[in-house]
Amino acid sequence: MKDIRDYSLLRHNTFGIDVRCRRFVEFTSVGELQTVISSLAETDQPLLFIGSGSNLLFTADYPGTVLHSAIRGVELIDSDSIHQYIRCGSGETWDDIVAQCVSHGWYGAENLSLIPGEVGASAVQNIGAYGVEVKDLIVQVEAVEIETGRPVSFTNAECCYSYRKSRFKDDWKGRFIITHVTYALSKTFHPHLDYGNIRAALAARNISEPSAAELRDTIITIRQAKLPDPKVEGNAGSFFMNPVVSMQKYKELARMYPDIPHYTIDGEHEKIPAGWLIDRCGWKGRALGKAGVHDKQALVLVNKGGATGADIVYLCDTIRHDVLQKFGIEIKPEVNIL
């Protein structure tokens, strides 16, 4: 277990914001986590549980204790005629899990390839990409209750997943620390190809019926072409959530902008890419000081070198204002701003 006072969080956030916390604790087992929880003093508050920091934006030093899981392990725990069930430590890197699933012939996570972050965060955030959300794979989430230190577990339904949301982000926020997540992977490959430019990217590689490995490679290629390397330009991937609007609102916009992209949610709502809205407001490739919008994907805000969290927030707020003024749509950050 690692337990350090006055600790730099520079390596623990992909925006590359140089802030510090009063105390940093990294645990490798449920037992270590329970020991930490039982020994917390009032001066250790408030608590913050982080993964790889790929969905965080720090605007100041953190005044309390930052907890990070280093619980590893991937275990095949069950199997039936349809699924393989794997239990993963919350400190495992998510993309490593996807790679293992593809190599073993466990299907369903291919479209979630190269999403940054760790297993624990996947269950908090309900990560998703290219028409797939991790909620469709999660069976059970294990955690430790902070107040009592007791182990608890939750079913998928109990977590109340929705678009980039779960109870861990809402009414359970600050109550539990995730230790393990169990996923159900299909024994049969059913590719999801009808989102974004997946089919076009496959066609460019002369692939019409991809294998899981080919689909994963294609997703990775698409993401790498659009998203900057955090080691070069600090970023948290997609900064904004794609807004869901009423069918009436969508039709109003479609009359003014016939080329507006959209994805049908149900008979009453449409999802509109936030990146398209931001691009149409003229923000792609622009900057305000040291904070900017990526020149290949307007959904991504970047630290161009030396930006503070406040610089990124100011850019975020300015973009949100412009999108609201132009389209009458409020876009919301996907990134957790602290």
Q: Is there a catalytic annotation at residue 334?
A: yes
Catalytic residue among 23, 164, 216, 320: 164
Question: Which tokens is 5 given?
Answer: 């006072």
Catalytic residue among 26, 122, 238, 320: 238
**What's the rounded Cα separation, in Å, for the pair 181 and 188?**
22
Coil, helix or strand for 123? helix
**What type of residue sits at position 200?**
A
Q: Pairing mode, if any, of strands 234-238 and 20-27?
A: unpaired
**Contact present, 255 and 238 (Cβ < 8 Å):** no
**Contact present, 38 and 150 (Cβ < 8 Å):** no
**What's the rounded Cα separation, in Å, for the pair 73 and 86?**
10
**What's the rounded Cα separation, in Å, for the pair 299 and 49?**
25
Question: Which tokens is 44 given?
Answer: 């250790």
Q: Is there a catalytic annotation at residue 133?
A: no
Q: Is there a catalytic annotation at residue 162?
A: no
How far is Cα of residue 310 from the mean position of the Cα atoms in its chain? 21
Which residues are tagged catalytic? 164, 238, 334
